Amino acid sequence: MANIGDLVLKSGMYTNPGVVVEKKVDGSVVVDTEPLTIHKYHRYSNTTGLTVEEKNTFNKILDRIYAKEDNLERLNDIQKDIDRLKTDTGSQKIVQYLRNQQAVLIRKAKVLPRTYNWDEAQLKT
């Protein structure tokens, strides 16, 4: 089942990537291959699987974080947002996408976040 804003890797006659912009009552969807439309929903990573509201929340968080230049500061900010959102059951998908983005940034910057919030019962000492 496709959601508005889901990435379609191959669409159209020449297999251009696109994004679902409309769902019709007959079960078909409209796919737009305009790069700016794709960028609207997928600025940082492929967010297929999130609702439009979740995509917007994810992109707003990363817009704020990537406005900073220092990768370590970015990683720490992503971790703070993960820690803040993981207590909200409605934000679990966003948390997973933030963790994925954090992993990409860790590989790029070759540093780790400074602090983490963990449930005490899950600590291995």
What does the pLDDT read at residue 120?
72
User: What pLDDT does 54 receive?
Assistant: 93
Residue 108 to residues 91, 101, 122, Cα–Cα distance (Å): 26, 11, 28
**Percentage, residues of the chain above pLDDT 70:** 92
Distance CA 77, CA 67 (A): 11
Whether the predicted pLDDT of 123 surpasses 80: no
Burial class for 58, CB neighbours closer than 10 Å (0-12, 13-18, 19+): buried
Confidence class of residue 81 from pLDDT cuts 50, 70 and 90?
very high
What's residue 108's pLDDT?
86
**Boundaries of every domain in the chain:** 1-42, 44-118
Q: Please count the CA atoms within 13 angstroms of the CA of 57 that sit on its side-chain side.
A: 17
**14, pLDDT greater than 80:** no
pLDDT above 90 (res 64): yes
Closest C-alpha to 77, from 20, 33, 115, 39: 115
Could you give the angle at the alpha carbon of 99 between the alpha carbons of 94 and 100, nearest 5°? 100
**pTM metric for this prediction:** 0.77
Residue 37 clears pLDDT 80, i.e. is over it: yes
pLDDT tens-digit readout, 53-63: 999 999 999 99
- Which of 73 and 114 is assigned the larger pLDDT? 73
Calculate helix-pair angle for 92-109, 52-65, nearest 10 degrees. 30
Mean pLDDT rounded to a whole number for the chain: 88
